[in-house]
Amino acid sequence: MGAAVDHESALCVELREAYSNLTSVQVRCNVLLDETRAQRRELAAVGPIAGVLVELGEDERRVLLLLAHRLLEGQKHYGRLDLANDPRDWRRERAQELADVLVYGAFEELKGATRET
């Protein structure tokens, strides 16, 4: 009888291990499924952009890449853009940035004029 109990105990241990392994596989499958869904959502979001990019020339794509890098820089400072909840005054922001462009342009003109004289 002792051998039968030992055999049943060993069988129970094997079943627990098998169940544990199955549970781990199920968890990993769920994680992979979630990742796949997220990737599909990302691809669906990128699709319209990719459709436009193939129609553009190399220089136009370079311009968009430059703008994309600027957006990433802004994301580092402010987080992801959420226009619906962003409290900034975009007209004021634009006016300030345009003023900066004019100032930088004037600096460059003066710097160039100084070199020429």
- The pLDDT score that the predictor gives to residue 97 is 96
Task: Report the SS3 class of residue 103.
Answer: helix
CA distance 50 to 56: 10
Predicted model pTM: 0.56
Tens of pLDDT, residue by residue, the chain (117 residues): 566 667 778 888 888 888 887 788 888 888 888 888 888 888 888 888 988 999 999 999 999 999 999 999 999 999 999 999 999 999 999 999 999 999 999 999 999 887 776
Total number of residues shown for the chain: 117
- The pLDDT score that the predictor gives to residue 65 is 95
Work out whether the CA dihedral 9, 10, 15, 16 comes out positive or negative.
positive
In the 8-state DSSP scheme, what is residue 57? -
- The pLDDT score that the predictor gives to residue 109 is 94
Helices (H) and strands (E) in the chain, counts: 3, 0
- The pLDDT score that the predictor gives to residue 4 is 65
In the 8-state DSSP scheme, what is residue 56? S
Work out whether the CA dihedral 21, 25, 28, 30 comes out positive or negative.
negative
34: enclosing H helix or E strand: helix 2-53
**Contact (CB, 8 A) for 81 and 75:** yes
